[in-house]
Every structure is written in C-alpha cells, then in structure tokens.
Amino acid sequence: MISRAARKSLLASAASVVLASCAVGPNFETPPAPAVSRYTPEPLASPRVDAEGPRVPRQQFVNGADIPPRWWAAFRSQPLNELIRLSVEHNPSLQSAEAAIRVANFNALAQRGLFFPQIGVNYTPSDQQISNMATSNPVDSPQSRYTLHTAQLNISFVPDIWGQNIRAVESLDAQTEQAQYQLEAAYVTLTANVVTAAIQEASLRGQIAATERIVKIERDILGILKTQFEAGQAAQVDVLTQETALAQAEQTLPPLEKQLAVQRDLLTALAGQFSADEVLQKFDLRHLTLPANLPVSLPSTLVAQRPDVRAAEANLHSASAQVGVAIAARLPNLTLTGNPGTSAFKASQLFTQGTLFYTVAASATQPLFDGLTLYHKQKAAEAALDEAEAQYRQAVITALQNVADALRSLQADARAVQAAIKAETAAKASLDIVQKQLVLGQITQVTVLNAQQAYFNAAITRVQAEATRLSDTAALFMALGGSWPAECKTPVWRECVFADKPAPVMKVSEATLPSR
C-alpha cells in the first residue's frame, strides 16, 4: 500500500506536469520573410556585352532557380573538385564546428534531466562508543560500543510549475540549431574560399605568364637595338633605355612569384595540411570554365537557406526562451524531497522488518527582497532579446546586400573583360607594328617603350579581369548561401555531400529567364 504522504507527493508531481505545459515568457515565432521580391531597384538584367566587341563567355541570371549542392562543379575543374573534397574532409574549422554541435546537444540533453526526480544513494557504516561519563553512575556503568549501518535514498524533485526548465531546454535546443547552422556557414565559407584561392592562383600564373611574354619581347627588342648600335644605326642611349625597360619588367616577376608561393601555402592550409605537405592540385585560368547559368534565389528563399541568417534566427530563439527563464525565477517555487532508508546494527539486518524509515517533505519559496537582482536579470534578458532581434535584422540586410553586390559586380565584370580583351588585342597589334618599324629604323625609342608598356599593362589587366569575373561568380554562390542538402545530417554529412550520384540539374520551376 502507498502511504498518504507518498500519494500526495505523486499527485503534486502530476499537477506540476500539467502546469508546466504553460511556460511563462514569450512564445517564439519565426520572423517573417523580408517584404521584397528582388535585390536591385530595377528588374534584374543578365550581364550584357557589346555585340560588336570581342567574343566573351556569356552569363545569364536564372531567377528562382535552386543552387546545386556541389555548385563548384560548374567551374568544370577536376583538380578543384578534388581539392574541395580534401579540404572538407581535413579542415580543422569544420571539425571544430562539428564538436560545437555535440557540446550544445549534450548540454540540452543534460538540461532535460531536470524534468525527472534526482535520486542519489547513501550508505554510511559507523562504529561508535559511548563514554561511561554520560551515565548516572559512571563508575558502575561500562562503556558501550556499537556499529550502525544506514542505507538511504535521497530524492528531490522541483516541479516545473512555470516552465522554467522548459524554456531552458528550449534555449539550449536553439543553441544546438545555431551550432548546426554555424557548421553549414563554415562549410559554405570554406568551399567558397577554396574556389576563390584557386582562382587567385590561376590569376597569378596568368600574370606571370604575361610578364614572361613581355620580358621575352623586350629582350628581342634589346637584341635588335644592340645590332643596330653595332652597325651605327642606333644610339647607345637607346640601348641603355631598353636595358632599363627590360630590368623593370624582370623586376615585376619576383613579387608575383612570391604571391604565388603564398597562395600555394593558403590552399594547403585550407586543405588542412601542413605547409611542408603542399597540395598537388595546381590551377590555371585556361582550365577553369566560367559558369553560364547563375541561379538567383528569391529573397524569401535566401533567408531560409543562408546559414548565417538561420544562425541569427536560432540565436533570437534562444534569447526569447531566456526571457521565460528569467521571469520564472521571480515566481514561487516548489521543491519535493523524500528520504527513504533503512538502519540496522548489522549490514545483514538491513531491509529486515522494523529497520525501514522515510521522510517526505515539501517546501515552497518565493523571493521577497533580493535588491532587485532577479528583476534586473529579467530586464537584461529582455534587452538581450532586443539585441538578438536587431542582429537578425542586420543579418538579413547584409545577406541581401551581399547578393546585390555580387549581381552588380557580375554585370560590370562582363563589360570589363570585353574591354580588357579589346585593349590587349589592340596593344599587341600596335607592338607588333612597332617592332617591324624598329627593324627598319623608322621610329624612336620612346615609341617603342610606350608600346611595350601599353601591352604589358593591357595583358595584366586582361588576366585580372577574367579572374575577377570568376571570383565574383563564386562570391554570388556564397552570398546565396551555397547549398546544404536537406538530407545531409551530421555526423555523416560529408559522405552525403560527396555521394557518387549524378550532379543535380538546376531546377527552374517558376523561374523567369531574362531576355538577352
């Protein structure tokens, strides 16, 4: 039979479960999507080029299209695909983000334990001797000695009357979600950084190749001038001037080679390798294809897929729950305790008839005066909620700005590449004519120097313009939040992302294709 006190304790516990369904504090609601349908004031137009200018690869924005999970495959570079796989598998930043998820998850699970009674066991054997001085006749009374064994359960339970623990668990669950989105953000950032670093390496190799071409041309011109000088057809000052121009061109090579070496170190570090274990993949602009169709998610889709925005939303959720925790701390609290046990002179007599005892108690507490400590903690939680809300709005604004910046950049990049190719072609043609005229002695050295410098600048600018267009394309994918497949969950998400399956086709459901 259950004692009356035990029945009361069970009833109190059941009542607390019912009451806990009504947690104090605000109930979190997902913020609405931004009330905008595009990223630019005017309707989005794909990058345009001059039809009469040099032919350059075209790009087209596809409104409302989904981002492929392996978006970097659009650059059609097998070394790039291999390096990204290597980076995702070994980069410590992703491993750190994964560990952060486990930390947050275990903290949330630990908090759930407070929904249940906390039970501990205590066993105390003791040997005691009573002094005969404590008796009425200490001379005749012998000292008494005995052994006592006590086994006891310590049970305590705090009913979640105001939902304080519910809100605490809610906050920790939101922190777990935030850690998950931070992992996704780290993944998107890493893949975009690898792509951008590979493009930069290709750009440096292109600039080095262009510089080496200029150096060869200037050496050829120097040879012509020396031959003319020996024949009395050119002045020594022309030879010296050309030697200076050649030295200046050669002087630009070491800084470029230094940048290339540093870029190789960066790629190696992104791959999670030590600098001495340089990655094998190398990149050149000729082996990177410019993606033609660029998906542009709607703003409402952007805030739902960009991980830093989702992380800010999870942080807002956590802050909202903490307000409920602070409010509940100011309300009356109930604690139930129970201490059943047994005590006997011998261990073998434990749990025999007449040795059992128990204590059941309940205590209610209500803060009366604490120097406004709990009040100010509640106000601090409410201020933290305001802060998190502002941070979320800023994250949304920044996300839209990033996409708009990338779109504007790509619109300008197409024209910049076309102009750079046109300038390089004209400068090379001018330099070829100057070289022929130099052989015939029809021009001055100043004209030769100007033609050389013009071609050098145009060649470098063309390489940089092509690399910038590739980098801005990668920046658009990153600004749109990359793509984390919904079916890829930790801890096996790497195998999911790189599963050997056909590359997903870009979905254009309800998409509008801008006219050229």
Positions of the chain with pLDDT lower than 70, given as ranges: 1-21, 131-143, 485-491, 499-516
Cα gap 513→503, rounded to integer Å: 22
CB 46 within 8 Å of CB 473: no
Given this model, what pLDDT does residue 466 score?
95
CB 53 within 8 Å of CB 418: yes
Predicted TM-score (pTM) of this structure: 0.84
CB 211 within 8 Å of CB 252: yes
CB 93 within 8 Å of CB 82: no
Examine residue 491 and say whether the peptide bond preceding it is cis (omega within 30 degrees of 0).
yes
Instruction: Count the neighbouring beta carbons within 10 Å of the beta carbon of residue 478.
Output: 21
